Chain A
């Protein structure tokens, strides 16, 4: 005799595989029996429930949940629809932003300090400095409204079209798509860069990939049109 009800665990909780043929009453008593047997194993676990093998009405689903709680200490948190189409829609929703990483972005406010890593699926605009030893990884572009003195990796999905821009471009290392560039060997500190009383010199620059090399150029209108 084939089993009327099979319990199968999945990543959310348990999947009930139900016999499509037998009368509903018989199915209920089979569910009751299964959960009585397994109660000591579940020990009052909280889990999501999903059904397979049989089309159930809302009333029938309700009956099964009640049967489970009457016969065991298992807490059913929710019912997960085992629906292939829905799953694909959800999956699509999850993946869509990745394709648009270059044109969709988000903000991060604060200074990234040594040892801190910021990873994001979209472009990132940082309102603060990126200090040496800190690292930003983005599938899209990286814009630093401050000093970029650490490591930045744009186009982390392998997109060489991405760019990295900063108000003060002084990185240890840059990576765009699959191209890596490092800073010139120089003194880590060589006198104050700015004379205090004069206005601060802002020299925004952008790094892009051309012919498999990273080029850093001043941001001009003409250049922005080509990004």
Chain B
């Protein structure tokens, strides 16, 4: 049974694309056949984060408009042969496709893949409607900030109204030092406000910035906290019961210990 998962947030810059890239990479590591779809037409990013920008020939709009076959537009990942990307078009805008066309597209991909991940654009307009049209479930990404949580709340309401039954929360960019000082909302504070089930928490990790700049997602790299957190999320998507990562371990200490193993 294949599943179509939309990664959304409402607010921009909270980590939708990073989450899509890492969850997709993680699921591929767990031997699932995965395709990532960048639905942010006109502002494509996912290809950059995946390090696949130079391979784009055809894109999502080309497929929808029938300029090419699906197979021609899908880009195989550098690292994992069971991971694919359907890039977005950069020279068009959100009106280039309709929710009906997106549903048709995801249905076609269901036959081939275990997981179809949709990277949703920020906002609640056409791009959002396109992205959620074919989705079975949703991952809502938020940061522990009031503005991001307001938007997440709005998004959850819209997802519920569109009868997406399974909605899970990812709290991104947590800084445990700030939480313990009482300067940042904790995971519990966020889930209490949004009242949906948590599927994972990802610490604020400078390794993410490095990995994005290199075009190498770090899911599964257990020498990084974020990489560990993402692979845990992937296990939970598969239905496994994995305890929440203890984010309280000092970042520097963690990487030092992990670094020792890496050298060998």
Contact = CB atoms under 8 A, between A and B. Distances in A.
Contact of A131 (B153, B182, B185): B153
A220 B253 CA distance: 54
A116 interface: yes
Contacts of B153: 113-114, 131-133
B68 interface: no
Contact of B156 (A113, A128, A129, A196): A113
A2 to B, nearest CB: 55
A29 B143 CA distance: 76
Best-buried of B150, B153, B154 by chain A (most CB within 10 Å): B153
B157 interface: yes
A36 interface: no
Decide if the interface of chain A is mainly helix, strand, loop or mixed.
loop
The CB with the most chain A CB atoms within 10 A, among B154, B156, B186, is that of B154
Interface stretch (A40-48, A185-193, A201-209): A185-193
B150 A132 contact: yes
B30 interface: no
Interface stretch (B56-64, B73-81, B188-196, B201-209): B188-196
B123 to A, nearest CB: 13
Given A114-B157, A115-B157, A115-B158, A191 B182 contact: yes
Contacts of A192: 182, 186, 188-189
Contacts of A191: 182
Given A113-B153, A196-B188, A131 B158 contact: no
A111 interface: yes
A113 B157 contact: yes
Nearest to B184: A189
A115 B146 contact: no
B23 to A, nearest CB: 24
Given A191-B182, A192-B182, A196-B188, A129 B195 contact: yes
Given A131-B193, A189-B146, A115 B188 contact: no
B188 A114 contact: no
Contacts of A196: 188
A191 B183 CA distance: 7
Interface residues of A, number: 17
B37 to A, nearest CB: 26
Contact of B154 (A111, A113, A128): A113
B57 to A, nearest CB: 40
Nearest to A112: B157
Contacts of B160: 113
B12 to A, nearest CB: 16
A133 to B, nearest CB: 6
B173 to A, nearest CB: 16
Interface in B149-192: 150-151, 153-154, 156-158, 160, 182, 185-186, 188-189
B195 A111 contact: yes
A192 B181 CA distance: 11
Given A189-B185, A192-B189, A114 B195 contact: no
Given A111-B195, A188-B146, A116 B157 contact: yes
Nearest to B156: A113
A114 B142 CA distance: 15
Contact of A114 (B150, B182, B186, B189): B150
Contacts of A189: 146, 185, 189
Contacts of B193: 131
A133 B193 CA distance: 13
A222 to B, nearest CB: 32
Interface in A199-219: none
Interface string A105-126: 0000001111110000000000
Interface of A: 111-116, 128-129, 131-134, 188-189, 191-192, 196
Interface of B: 146, 150-151, 153-154, 156-158, 160, 182, 185-186, 188-189, 193, 195
Given A112-B157, A116-B157, A192-B182, 10 more contacts: A111-B195, A113-B156, A113-B157, A114-B150, A114-B154, A115-B158, A129-B195, A131-B193, A133-B150, A189-B146
4 pairs of A and B residues whose beta carbons are closest in the complex = A113-B157, A114-B154, A188-B146, A114-B153
25 contacts: A111-B195, A112-B157, A113-B153, A113-B154, A113-B156, A113-B157, A114-B150, A114-B153, A114-B154, A115-B157, A129-B195, A131-B153, A132-B150, A132-B153, A133-B153, A133-B154, A134-B157, A188-B146, A189-B146, A189-B185, A191-B182, A192-B182, A192-B188, A192-B189, A196-B188
